[in-house]
Structure 1
Amino acid sequence: MESVRWKLSDELLLEAYQKAINLNLEPDFIKLLSIEIQKRNIYEKMKCSCS
């Protein structure tokens, strides 16, 4: 069976990360989001959107 992958926009990824932290979701899930943010090198966008 072929795997289907959906591309999440940078903005949605950052929003999901922030919400996961705020909702105190599973640390493993938050870690996965964090790893993807690091891969995309978009931490600066997160800092800019929070101010």
Structure 2
Amino acid sequence: MHELSDEKLMEAFSAAVKIQMSQDFISLLEQELIIRGLVHSKV
């Protein structure tokens, strides 16, 4: 996912949540957001 810009990753995550894509896909995007430091992990 390194070729995907931070902005596009955030857009993809928002869209995936909005259209209720599979939780596995949403989790994958969320993990990448956490790795990049764009969101904090859930506790």
TM over 0.5: yes
Question: What TM-score comes out, normalization by structure 1 length?
Answer: 0.71
Distance 2:30 2:11 in 1: 12
Identity fraction in percent: 38
Aligned pairs, how many?
A: 40
**Are positions 1:15 and 2:11 aligned together?**
yes
After the TM superposition, which segments of 4 or more aligned residues of structure 1 sit over 6 Å from their partners? none
Structure 1 gap segments, 5+ residues each: 45-51
> Bigger radius of gyration, 1 or 2?
1
**Bigger proportion of residues as helix:** 1
5+ residue gaps in structure 2? Answer: none
